[in-house]
């Protein structure tokens, strides 16, 4: 009887305090240029979102403008509006804005202000998620890697003066974009998210003071109200300051909200991340939509619960921006795909999926007063006939940006000022019998002895040793280390560095006197040591094709089937990584990277060195076949 009474009390608490019901859904107010609006918390117990004094349901979809071609921004926003959403949420990726020389780039996909203005033009409100840390399956969760150049680097911590100084510099810049665009100042921004999932960081220096500092910063700038995104347990919610709304990642049913209602009195609780799909790593299965999320949206629309679909449209982690996952000890390394399709309602190139129309029917069925435009057509796509790149150089003929010698132990790439890319480490092996090399490579290494390929080491598989052949005379050991993005979730972020990690041993002997060649891949590698046909028996090469387009270009997907592992540039734009372990076989190339006339396609493959490499074609869609099943975890915190 006592248990039944408790359950009834929980249900009563949830049903009376979490949502506002039909009245909130019928508030169809939109942003108007130059007209201020008041967004606040109110209603019974302060549990409702209020817009100009009336209950308001946030129906949000997450889009990351830095993952979407700028020419397609409006299409994605219009599709969200046509689905019945009234708000766009988005992360800001700090490390894409701050450049290596300390300057700031707010152009192109980084023009956050223009994206917010476009949301307002289309009648959409905004949930602003500036970080500084955001996770988002993005390299180091959006933090710049100069923060982890040194070995001991506590992040997200007021006790780290360097971090706090850098964070303040970033927040000052991004606040210049956000403050004029708050709804009270005539813009579309309803709320600012103070930080992201801090309760799940699990570091020895977790502190409420850090979140309070962020709240004070934004309050002094004139922002507010605020929210945090967290899990629903006491552990996750222990860093929510008083007066800050709670977004749960996710809130799929009333039970997941009840604990947040107890922990955070007097503020709204909503689902800040409802997952229509889930992230994917190299070697896993392909994207699959989540049917559970449809049921969640049915509940939200029945009872007026506010929500944000993460992600409504995923886009692409162009270049070297894709992140990775691991456990708190750095094991179970899982690098993310270049594609961020996510199994979301709007696919990687803007295609509207079956689920898109199901979400739309649920939302419009619950709010018959809502009139929406027809969904926009998918942007044009094109096929490209097969073309075969020509070999420009073997891998060993390519340049590096710098050579550093005489390291006692191999340095990390971050300590040399490099974020990801490739590091080529070499040392002298003494003559001797067959022995085991002990080597920790972050993240994937090709090992050579005297220019002869011996084997690879894959961090994903926990491989840290390799048997080397006998040597009659001393020989050069060369380790080509290819990297993935930095871990973007959990406190191991502070320790995740690239290159060779720690000492390298041959049997029990530590190898010393290391040379390092750096290849950041921020630009296409140049050829500096052409040897014609006298090529060393090493793997890999650089290839180029000129593809001529007679008409104005459209989006396409470059099919890399047959290639092994590497990178693709189109007219100097790094599309991202490919790897034949899948599931991704095609790289999205938006029309804005192409031009009418000649287009240069460059490929750097770590394994293929051939005068007759595989051909490449352009497809009209991403490969979506499911060759293996991977569970959509849906962020099950508890």
**Per-residue pLDDT tens over the stretch 340-360:** 999 999 999 999 999 999 999
Which residue intervals of 83-178 are DSSP H helices?
A: 94-97, 112-121, 161-178
Residues 6+ apart with CB under 8 A from 510: 409, 503, 504
Predicted pLDDT at 254: 76
| pLDDT tier at 634, thresholds 50, 70, 90 | low
Predicted pLDDT at 188: 98
- Cα separation of 140 and 230, whole Å? 19
Q: Which CATH superfamily includes the segment(s) 384-393+537-619?
A: Galactose-binding domain-like (2.60.120.260)
Residue 1, pLDDT above cutoff 50? no
| pLDDT tier at 12, thresholds 50, 70, 90 | very low
Do 192 and 121 meet the contact criterion of CB atoms below 8 Å apart?
Answer: no
Residue whose entry in the numeric block shows the structure tokens 């709304």:
245
**Per-residue pLDDT tens over the stretch 509-567:** 999 999 999 999 999 998 876 554 455 678 999 999 999 999 999 999 999 999 999 99
- Cα separation of 287 and 284, whole Å? 9
Predicted pLDDT at 423: 96
Using the Cα atoms of residue 569, residue 570, residue 576 and residue 582 in order, give the sign of their dihedral.
negative
**Per-residue pLDDT tens over the stretch 583-597:** 999 999 999 999 999
Count other C-beta atoms under 10 Å from residue 470's C-beta.
10
Predicted pLDDT at 534: 54
- Cα separation of 160 and 614, whole Å? 50
- Cα separation of 90 and 136, whole Å? 10
Q: What is the mean pLDDT of residues 120-145?
A: 97
**Per-residue pLDDT tens over the stretch 137-172:** 999 999 999 999 987 789 999 999 999 999 999 999
Predicted pLDDT at 175: 98
Residue 10, pLDDT above cutoff 80? no
Predicted pLDDT at 7: 37
DSSP character for 39? Answer: E
Do 289 and 277 meet the contact criterion of CB atoms below 8 Å apart?
Answer: yes
Q: Which residue from 443, 40, 20, 510 is spatially nearest to 243, judged by alpha carbons? A: 40
473: tokens are 């005379």
The CB-side HSE value for 142 (13 A sphere, CA atoms) comes to: 23
**What phi and psi values does residue 560 have, to the nearest 5 degrees?**
-100, 20
Q: What is the mean pLDDT of residues 382-411?
A: 90
End-to-end CA, the chain:
26
Q: What is the mean pLDDT of residues 603-632?
A: 90
| E strand segments, 484-637 | 499-500, 505-506, 509-510, 514-519, 541-549, 556-559, 565-570, 573-579, 586-589, 597-605, 616-619
- CATH class assigned to 400-519: mainly beta
Predicted pLDDT at 152: 77
Q: Catalytic pick from 122, 273, 397, 602? A: 273
Residue 182, pLDDT above cutoff 90? yes
Give the CA distances from residue 579 to residues 167, 445, 563, 585, in Å, rounded to whole numbers and listed in that order: 35, 14, 8, 7
Q: Catalytic pick from 62, 137, 197, 355? A: 197
Between strands 226-230 and 245-248, the pairing is parallel
Cα 418 from chain centroid?
19
Indicate the average pLDDT of the chain.
Answer: 92
Do 110 and 170 meet the contact criterion of CB atoms below 8 Å apart?
Answer: no
Predicted pLDDT at 633: 63
Please tell me the least confidently modeled range out of 135-149, 221-235, 444-458, 603-617. 221-235
**Per-residue pLDDT tens over the stretch 551-574:** 999 999 999 999 999 999 999 999
Counting residues of the chain whose pLDDT is more than 70, the rounded percentage is 94
Residue 627, pLDDT above cutoff 80? no
Predicted pLDDT at 251: 87
- Cα separation of 314 and 64, whole Å? 7
**Per-residue pLDDT tens over the stretch 309-338:** 999 999 999 999 999 999 888 889 999 999
Predicted pLDDT at 153: 87
- Cα separation of 194 and 241, whole Å? 10
Angle formed at CA 316 by CA 310 and CA 321, multiple of 5 degrees: 100
pTM of the model: 0.94
The CB-side HSE value for 367 (13 A sphere, CA atoms) comes to: 28
**What phi and psi values does residue 310 have, to the nearest 5 degrees?**
-115, 110
Helix, strand, coil shares, percent, the chain, to 5: 25, 30, 45
Residue whose entry in the numeric block shows the structure tokens 């399956």:
137
- Cα separation of 618 and 32, whole Å? 42
359: tokens are 């979400």
Residue scoring higher pLDDT (159 or 403): 159
User: Looking at the domain 2-324+341-366, which fold is it?
Assistant: TIM Barrel (3.20.20)
Instruction: Tell me, yes or no, if 273 is annotated catalytic.
Output: yes
Residue whose entry in the numeric block shows the structure tokens 């689902």:
271
Cα 280 from chain centroid?
11
- Cα separation of 15 and 9, whole Å? 10
Residue 9, pLDDT above cutoff 90? no
- Omega before 27 within 30 of 0, i.e. cis: no
Please tell me the least confidently modeled range out of 56-60, 223-227, 403-407. 403-407
Predicted pLDDT at 306: 96
User: Do the domains at 2-324+341-366 and 400-519 have one common CATH topology?
Assistant: no
Predicted pLDDT at 617: 98
Please report, for the chain, the start and end positions of each structural domain, with discontinuous segments joined by +. Answer: 2-324+341-366, 384-393+537-619, 400-519
Q: Which residue from 601, 620, 593 is spatially nearest to 383, judged by alpha carbons? A: 620
13: tokens are 């608490």
Do 610 and 541 meet the contact criterion of CB atoms below 8 Å apart?
Answer: yes
Residues 6+ apart with CB under 8 A from 546: 598, 599, 600, 601
Predicted pLDDT at 95: 97
**Per-residue pLDDT tens over the stretch 284-315:** 998 889 889 999 999 999 989 999 999 999 99
Does residue 535 sit in helix, strand or coil? coil
Q: What is the mean pLDDT of residues 79-104?
A: 96
Instruction: Tell me, yes or no, if 207 is annotated catalytic.
Output: no
Q: What is the mean pLDDT of residues 182-210?
A: 95
């Amino acid at each position: 009887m006592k248990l039944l009474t408790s359950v009834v009390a929980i249900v009563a608490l949830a049903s009376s305090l979490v949502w506002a019901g039909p009245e909130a859904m019928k508030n169809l107010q939109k942003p108007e240029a130059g007209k201020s609006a008041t967004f606040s918390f109110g209603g019974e117990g302060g549990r409702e979102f209020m817009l100009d004094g009336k209950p308001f349901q946030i129906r949000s979809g997450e889009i990351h403008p830095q993952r979407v071609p700028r020419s397609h921004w409006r299409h994605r926003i219009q599709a969200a509006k046509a689905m019945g959403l009234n708000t766009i949420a988005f992360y800001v990726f700090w490390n894409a804005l701050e450049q290596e020389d300390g300057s700031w780039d707010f152009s192109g996909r980084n023009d956050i202000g223009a994206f917010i203005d476009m949301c307002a033009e289309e009648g959409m409100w905004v949930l602003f998620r500036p970080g500084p840390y955001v996770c988002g399956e993005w390299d180091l969760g959006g933090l710049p890697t100069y923060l982890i150049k040194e070995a001991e680097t506590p992040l997200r911590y007021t006790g780290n003066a360097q971090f706090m100084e850098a964070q303040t510099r970033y927040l000052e810049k991004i606040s210049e974009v956000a403050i004029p665009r708050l709804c009270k100042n005539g813009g579309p921004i309803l709320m600012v998210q103070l930080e992201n999932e801090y309760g799940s960081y699990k570091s020895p220096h977790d502190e409420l003071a850090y979140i309070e500092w962020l709240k004070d910063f934004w309050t002094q700038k004139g922002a507010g109200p605020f929210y945090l995104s967290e899990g629903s347990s006491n552990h996750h919610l222990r860093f929510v300051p008083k007066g800050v709304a709670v977004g749960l990642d996710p809130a799929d049913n009333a039970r997941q909200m009840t604990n947040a209602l107890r922990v955070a009195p007097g503020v709204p609780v909503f689902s800040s991340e409802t997952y229509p799909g889930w992230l994917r790593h190299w070697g896993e299965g392909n994207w699959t939509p989540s049917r559970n999320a449809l049921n969640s949206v049915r509940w939200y629309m029945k009872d007026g619960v506010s929500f944000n679909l993460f992600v409504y449209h995923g886009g692409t982690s162009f270049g070297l921006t894709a992140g990775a996952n691991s456990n708190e000890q750095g094991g179970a390394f899982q690098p993310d795909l270049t594609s961020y399709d996510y199994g979301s309602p709007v696919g990687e190139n803007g295609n509207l999926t079956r689920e898109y129309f199901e979400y739309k029917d649920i939302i419009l069925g619950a709010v018959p007063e809502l009139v929406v435009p027809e969904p926009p057509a998918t942007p044009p796509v094109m096929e490209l006939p097969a073309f075969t790149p020509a070999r420009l150089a073997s891998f060993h003929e390519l340049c590096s940006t710098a050579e550093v010698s005489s390291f006692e132990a191999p340095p990390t790439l971050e300590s040399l000022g490099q974020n990801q890319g490739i590091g080529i480490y070499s040392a002298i092996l003494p003559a001797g019998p067959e022995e085991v090399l002990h080597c920790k490579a972050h993240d994937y290494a090709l090992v050579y002895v005297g220019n002869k390929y011996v084997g690879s080491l894959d961090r994903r598989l926990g491989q840290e040793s390799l048997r080397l052949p006998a040597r009659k005379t001393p020989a050069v050991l060369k380790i080509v280390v290819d990297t993935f993005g930095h871990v973007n979730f959990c406190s191991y972020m502070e320790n995740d560095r690239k290159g060779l990690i720690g000492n390298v041993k041959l049997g029990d002997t530590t190898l010393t006197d290391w040379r390092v060649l750096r290849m950041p891949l921020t630009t296409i590698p140049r050829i500096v040591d052409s040897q014609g046909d006298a090529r060393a028996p090493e793997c890999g090469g650089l290839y180029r094709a000129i593809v001529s387009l007679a008409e104005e270009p459209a989006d396409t997907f470059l099919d890399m089937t047959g290639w092994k592992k590497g990178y693709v540039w189109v007219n100097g734009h790094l599309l991202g990584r490919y790897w034949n372990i899948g599931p991704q076989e095609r790289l999205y190339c938006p029309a804005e990277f192409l031009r009418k006339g000649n287009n240069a396609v460059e490929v750097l493959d770590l394994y293929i060195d051939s005068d007759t490499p595989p051909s490449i074609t352009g497809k009209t869609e991403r490969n979506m076949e499911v060759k293996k099943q991977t569970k959509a975890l849906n962020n099950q915190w508890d």
